[in-house]
A = this chain, B = another copy of it.
Amino acid sequence: MEKPQEKSTPTSSLLLAFRLESRPVLLIGGGPVSHSRLIHLISCGSHITLISPTITSEISSLISSSNSSPFPSKITYLKRLYKGESDDIKVKDFSIVLTAIDDPIISKETYELCKFHRIPINVADVPDLCDFYFGAQFKKGLIQVMVSTSGKGPRVGAMIRDIIEDCLPEELESSVEGVGILRKELREKVPGIGGDKSKKRMEWMKSICDAWGLDNLKLFKEEKIREWVFINGWEKDRVVRPDQIPWNEMPEEIRIQYRKGMKKDKRVGKLDVGGTEMFFGLLGWVLGTALGALFMLGLAMLISWYMSHKS
């Protein structure tokens, strides 16, 4: 049995985003792990065959809600034990196979079957019988992030995932959406896959992203901006920066959005006066006033002492 994580030069995993829409997936087992797998598979729109003599109530309600929704995912539930090699359901008919059962013998048999047919398999909680791992992941609109710890600890992965989720700016989704629309329109206006045209398109998009910066990219959700950038940028073979846009000719709501972004940018370089600074200012003021008063009192006493002695 290979244990790559225990070698002196540990190898990485290849992190991939698998498209499983309308693809057949075999899921064996009906417990909590199977439930979490099912949630992922449904959001991918895959066609799931689930085999298990029993299922949790969560899985049961997931099956009924998923099959009645307009979502492209389908679940076929077979209420029985999976028999391994002799089963009528054959692993070779599926894109991927996932098992989450407490039967090491059937798990191993299924792994060997998948290995023979080159079908990627994950046997829950048995790293050595996995072609791939599930990492800790989250989804925020169109953005998906996965954290993998090379099998060193799923809980730590989840902790790191939470840190990442907290540190991503709120408006990121709008930016991804904006770029997505610009890119899609450009592909429609300038079709062609592979070759020079697609290369030029990719490079122009990359330059636009760099010139506008993550925060401003959300402005591409506005048709007027996309149109202007296409005519004055792409068609003239140049990269247009946001400060080159004739903002006065744009509708007011777009102008306001842009100015808001600019203000935010400028604020970074300025002094941020908050409660702590106010407190220290006030403390200095009070102490200073007291000292100033004491000093002048002393001076006044000195003068009056001098005057009284003079007289």
Interface size, chain A (Cβ < 8 Å): 116
With both chains docked as a complex, state the minimum distance between the C-beta of A169 and any C-beta of chain B, in angstroms.
8
Q: Which residue of B lies closest to A210 (CB)?
A: B155
A219 at interface (Cβ–Cβ under 8 A)? no
Contact across chains for A132 and B16 when beta carbons are under 8 A apart: yes
A228 at interface (Cβ–Cβ under 8 A)? no
Q: Enumerate chain B residues within 8 angstroms of A135, measured Cβ to Cβ.
A: 15-17, 144, 146
Contact across chains for A156 and B144 when beta carbons are under 8 A apart: no
Q: Enumerate chain B residues within 8 angstroms of A16, measured Cβ to Cβ.
A: 15-18, 132-135, 146
Q: Enumerate chain B residues within 8 angstroms of A299, measured Cβ to Cβ.
A: 296, 300
Contact across chains for A21 and B11 when beta carbons are under 8 A apart: yes
Cross-interface CB contact of A206 among B13, B71, B155, B195, cutoff 8 Å: B155
Bound: A159/B194 CA distance, A: 24
Convert A266-306 into 0s and 1s, putting 1 for each residue whose CB lies closer than 8 angstroms to a CB of B.
00000111001110111111111111111111011001000
A209 at interface (Cβ–Cβ under 8 A)? yes
A232 at interface (Cβ–Cβ under 8 A)? no
Q: Which residue of B lies closest to A45 (CB)?
A: B11
A194 and B149 in contact (CB under 8 A), knowing A44-B14, A281-B283?
Answer: no
Q: Which residues of A contact B (CB under 8 A)?
A: 2, 4-7, 9-22, 40-41, 43-46, 70-73, 92, 95, 101-104, 107, 117-120, 125-126, 130-135, 137, 139, 142-150, 152-153, 155-156, 159-160, 163-164, 167-169, 172, 175-177, 179-180, 183-184, 193-195, 198, 202, 205-206, 209-210, 214, 217, 271-273, 276-278, 280-297, 299-300, 303
Q: Beyond the given A14-B20, A95-B131, please list 11 additional residue pairs across the A-B interface where CB-CB is below 8 A.
A: A13-B44, A14-B46, A17-B132, A101-B194, A145-B145, A145-B148, A153-B205, A155-B210, A278-B280, A289-B291, A291-B292
Residue pairs across A and B with Cβ atoms less than 8 A apart, 22 shown, are: A5-B180, A9-B71, A11-B72, A11-B73, A12-B43, A15-B17, A15-B145, A15-B146, A16-B135, A18-B131, A18-B132, A149-B176, A153-B183, A163-B167, A164-B164, A277-B277, A282-B284, A283-B284, A287-B288, A289-B295, A290-B292, A296-B296
